[in-house]
Structure 1
Amino acid sequence: RPNADPKEVDEATKLVEHRQKNLGEPSEMALLSRLHWWTVEYGLIGTLENPKIYGAGLLSSIGESVSCLEPAVKKIPYSIDAQTHAFDITTKQPQLFVCRDFQHLRGVLEEFANMMAFKVGGVEGINKAIECQNVATCEYSSGLQVGGVFTEVITDENNSPSYLRTSGKTALAFRDKELERHGIDYHKDGFCSPVGKWKQTTTSPELLTDDQLHALGIVEGRKAKIEFVSGVVVSGKVDKILRRDGKLLLITFSNCTAKFGDRTLFRPDWGMYDMAVGDQISSVFNGAADKDAYNQVALVPKERTIKVPLDAKRKRLENLYQQVRKIRESKTGYERLGEIWETQQAEHPEDWLLSMEIFEIVDTTSQQPELKARVEKFLNQKKAKTKDLATLIG
């Protein structure tokens, strides 16, 4: 504010800096943004001794594309550990990561993907859903998808999820489509259910056939009791059994009680109890499975990427670049380089990069020494006029 006490400003600044450095455990999105920063934006490729630039952030800045290659900037072999390095967009980066090639880059990203909640599921994934405090989806191994704000997970002695709970609007889906009568209006107060295998059988519960359920005493219209290996016990009258694609998804009970040791997890006076079926949580991901049914609207930016139209002059310059590239790759047509350079000088005197391309070709192939001398003179003049170009042209 105007006329603020310098001491207050100093204290406020220190407080902001402290909070920026102590933001707690970074989310998956934050870790992914770091990998993006150290690759797509500020990535180097090749060897530690002679890296090349491919990051868009570096390529877009002449000054930083020069300074980043200096010894003062530490070069680190790219690995999954890059996710532990935060970044500051307001200053030059003290270190950069170098990947050997793009296959190496892809391998690290796949390694990270295999650690994400949507791949690993389990208690780790559920805890991430709880930490985010936003709508997330836990998918059972049966394919049943439970979407809502997760608030609790009970684990067994092996730290595997035994029971999960949401609060507020929750929806159940299968293959990203909401199940009929299991939307946010029906489950407006949340959802809770066990996870895991049953004591009565070694078969994964979602794979049990109707005959196997009958043998276990689980029949619509009759009372049943299901004991989970984790210790959770569910008992009540079976009202409905729901399957999809041959897999058991839900068993709906009336007059139901669910307990875990001395703790009551569900009471008969709470209403109908929809028990999810699946011996594990195979995936956890952000948002609802059926976003339209959940009324979770994806925000689409009004602004679109601005595409600068190419004028005739720019198109002619790009055509010159294409011709030089064709000569370089085919290793033929060197005699045309002089004509191309003269055209560039006449129509695009401000451009220097094409001259660099031509100089490299005639220098490495020992072609047209007179042309080489003229191009070199032009580049030296450019270097003398512009400090940043002095390093880039070399």
Structure 2
Amino acid sequence: MNKNFETNPLIERLPPHLKQFIKPQNYNDYTPINQAVWRFVMRKNISYLGKVAHESYLKGLDLTGISIDKIPSMYGMNRILKEIGWAAVAVDGFIPPNAFMEFQAYKVLVIASDIRQLENIEYTPAPDIIHEAAGHAPIIANPDYAEYLRRFGEIGAKAILSSHDNDMYEAVRRLSILKEAKDSKQEDIDKAEAEVNRLQNKKVPLSEMAQIRNLHWWTVEYGLIGNTDKPRLYGAGLLSSIGESKWCLSDEVKKIPYSIKAAETEFDITKPQPQLFVTPDFSYLMQVLDEFSNTMALRKGGWRGLNKLIDSKKIGTIELNTGLQISGVFTRMIRDEDNNVVFFKTEGPTALANREKELIGHGTETHPNGFSSPIGKLKGINLAIEDMGPRDLKAYNFYDNKRIAFEYESGITVEGLNITGIRNLQGKLILIQFEDCTVKYKDEVLFSPKDGTFDLAVGSSIVSAYAGSADYRSFENLYHVSENTTVKPETDETKRQLEKLYQSVRDLRNNDTISEDNIKSIFSLLKSNHKPDWLLSLELLELSDKFDFSSLKTELLGYLEQQKNEQPNIAHLVADGIEIINEN
């Protein structure tokens, strides 16, 4: 495994369907400008966030080994994160929501290794290493919050998506890639943005994943903590955005006490948030999460849970009251007059399990074309099949290698040669195998002898339904890797020369003694060949201030004032940079 992420045993435990998203960080690909962007954002954030962020933030920066002066490496972060029981991996931008949540459940931070371009220094819609490493990582040093994040991932990974969620994920991923790629055509960005807006404005019921995503957004990404009059920041989106970290505390943003209502409150990633939610403390986050979990199909099961899986068109799992778990793409159910599920069906590879462990001989190789079964109570018999002991089975004619015919209360009939049964650890039947079997409902044949061996799922009700597989080893490709990949910015000779100047300044900063001529030489080249650039001028000003080159400092301040006048959109950034230099 790549050395960028081999140093933490938590990563070795990840299942293959998550490891497929891990990418090498390629630390040497970071340019001197990338490093300068990181340093500027971090210096500005530390200066400001020390006053407004939750107290865990600055402590967490030290604990997680995140430096102000250079982009962190996965290798270094993992060496330190394992001390607090976490790990970090690099990925390519957005990954599927369930996969993202499952990484969290394994206590692994997902870090998009790309970094925003200088033009997007205040905010980028694409996940980047500033957002992930400087936003998420420090707060997990707080034990209460770290457990909330893990538990959130554990529950969120089971949340069922809708087909609309799948479309939205791909649209947002494409838009974020285009916006961050410097050479993107405006017409392509406009088209992608229009598609995101179309999907956002589409009136569809919120799926479980949409609701859990809302909770994630209003806590993990944009959460405030304390009281509504004077809250502090803990959400990674706020901690990593030098623009929104100030905006969020203004009176223009409504502060609302956090509650389960946040699950119904949607957001627009392209605009500043008109309201934010304030939790009194990290423990309360867990209380709301548990309250929401009680509404999920994971805990409620039933026909509504199965219906969500059918709508998702993705691999999901139902668990019967006997503990039998069926994982696959569900396509059909039959309900009785009381809305109880009496029959279900999957299509394509399907696996059966008990206690998250695949039943031997009942993986996708055995059920490559789907699985179906009636469930419920037998007609005229007060005892459920799963509750029958050996004497009961004999009394009701359930003999191995004997033909049997029986009917469910729903009217579904089963007739065939009883071969054998499989029991769980408690001794209850969970599966009965038949040959030469016919299953009928009214005039419809649900299963016929030509379909092969029939495996009857034993159970009377669905107690749980959730996204993903009961045993992750049952499916090789549990999550789809998007075909939209991050576009690396192209460079030219002018950009390469500018990079060299940035590197020269980095080298000078590491020297105890430098000459004024060194800075003047770089400044001269900057003015002549790279006039729009403002960040390098600030770095030169910092060095001039440090070594007390007063005349050069005055000249640089004048040049930066000119930059502010010519580029009003960066005037506040220049002003903030000068303020940071003066503070230090």
Match of 2:225 in 1: 45
Aligned AA (1:194):
P
Q: Take 2:191 and 2:576, find their aligned partners in 1: how far apart are those partners?
A: 43
Is 1:95 the equivalent of 2:242?
no
Match of 1:105 in 2: 285
Number of equivalent positions? 306
CA gap of 1:57–1:5, structure 2 versus 1, over 3 A, is closer
- Determine helix, strand or coil for the equivalent of 2:332: strand
Match of 2:308 in 1: 128
Q: Take 1:157 and 1:218, find their aligned partners in 2: how far apart are those partners?
A: 28
Alpha carbons 1:45, 1:100 under 8 Å: kept: yes
Q: Take 2:189 and 2:221, find their aligned partners in 1: how far apart are those partners?
A: 33
Q: 1:71, CA displacement in angstroms?
A: 2.0
Is 1:281 the equivalent of 2:474?
no
Q: Take 2:194 and 2:472, find their aligned partners in 1: how far apart are those partners?
A: 42
Q: Take 1:277 and 1:53, find their aligned partners in 2: how far apart are those partners?
A: 51
TM-score, reference length from structure 2: 0.48
Q: 1:255, CA displacement in angstroms?
A: 2.0
Alpha carbons 1:62, 1:388 under 8 Å: kept: no
Match of 1:253 in 2: 434
Match of 2:530 in 1: none
Q: Take 1:84 and 1:96, find their aligned partners in 2: how far apart are those partners?
A: 13
Q: Take 1:388 and 1:90, find their aligned partners in 2: how far apart are those partners?
A: 29
Q: 1:51, CA displacement in angstroms?
A: 2.7
- Determine helix, strand or coil for the equivalent of 1:292: helix
Alpha carbons 1:225, 1:234 under 8 Å: kept: yes
Q: Take 2:393 and 2:197, find their aligned partners in 1: how far apart are those partners?
A: 60
Aligned AA (2:450):
D
Q: Percent identity?
A: 44
Q: 1:136, CA displacement in angstroms?
A: 1.4
1:72-83 aligned at under 5 Å gives the runs 72-83=252-263
Q: Take 2:382 and 2:303, find their aligned partners in 1: how far apart are those partners?
A: 22
Alpha carbons 2:347, 2:369 under 8 Å: kept: yes
Match of 2:379 in 1: 199
Q: Take 2:329 and 2:422, find their aligned partners in 1: how far apart are those partners?
A: 24
Match of 1:316 in 2: none
Alpha carbons 2:350, 2:369 under 8 Å: kept: yes
Q: Alignment RMSD, CA only?
A: 3.2
- Measured against aligned partners, the alpha-carbon deviations of 1:347-370 in whole angstroms (never above 9, x if no partner) come to xx99xxxxxxxxxxxxxxxxxxxx
- Measured against aligned partners, the alpha-carbon deviations of 1:146-175 in whole angstroms (never above 9, x if no partner) come to 111110011111111110001111121222
Alignment counterpart, residue 420 of structure 2, candidates 240, 243, 247: 240
Is 1:116 the equivalent of 2:296?
yes
Aligned AA (1:266):
F
Alignment counterpart, residue 346 of structure 2, candidates 154, 163, 166: 166
Gaps of 5+ in 1: 301-348, 351-384
Is 1:184 the equivalent of 2:376?
no
Match of 1:270 in 2: 451
CA gap of 1:162–1:57, structure 2 versus 1, over 3 A, is same
Aligned AA (1:123):
W
- Determine helix, strand or coil for the equivalent of 2:472: coil
Q: Take 2:209 and 2:189, find their aligned partners in 1: how far apart are those partners?
A: 32
Aligned AA (2:358):
E
- Determine helix, strand or coil for the equivalent of 1:183: coil
Q: Take 2:350 and 2:576, find their aligned partners in 1: how far apart are those partners?
A: 62
- Determine helix, strand or coil for the equivalent of 1:29: helix
Q: 1:18, CA displacement in angstroms?
A: 2.3
Alpha carbons 1:63, 1:388 under 8 Å: kept: no
Alpha carbons 1:252, 1:275 under 8 Å: kept: yes
CA gap of 1:251–1:35, structure 2 versus 1, over 3 A, is same
Q: 1:21, CA displacement in angstroms?
A: 1.6
Q: Take 1:231 and 1:76, find their aligned partners in 2: how far apart are those partners?
A: 52
Match of 1:154 in 2: 334
Q: 1:102, CA displacement in angstroms?
A: 2.8
- Determine helix, strand or coil for the equivalent of 2:333: strand
Q: Take 1:41 and 1:11, find their aligned partners in 2: how far apart are those partners?
A: 26
CA gap of 1:242–1:200, structure 2 versus 1, over 3 A, is farther
Is 1:137 the equivalent of 2:346?
no
Alignment counterpart, residue 405 of structure 2, candidates 225, 239, 243: 225
Q: Take 2:471 and 2:192, find their aligned partners in 1: how far apart are those partners?
A: 44
Q: Take 1:271 and 1:387, find their aligned partners in 2: how far apart are those partners?
A: 73
- Determine helix, strand or coil for the equivalent of 1:239: strand
Alpha carbons 1:288, 1:296 under 8 Å: kept: no
Match of 1:380 in 2: none
Q: Take 2:578 and 2:323, find their aligned partners in 1: how far apart are those partners?
A: 58
Q: Take 2:269 and 2:199, find their aligned partners in 1: how far apart are those partners?
A: 17
Is 1:71 the equivalent of 2:251?
yes
Aligned AA (2:466):
F
Q: 1:299, CA displacement in angstroms?
A: 8.8
Q: Take 2:284 and 2:449, find their aligned partners in 1: how far apart are those partners?
A: 56
Structure with more of its chain in helix, by fraction: 2
TM-score, reference length from structure 1: 0.69
Q: Take 2:363 and 2:244, find their aligned partners in 1: how far apart are those partners?
A: 52
- Determine helix, strand or coil for the equivalent of 1:251: strand
Gaps of 5+ in 2: 1-182, 482-544, 547-574
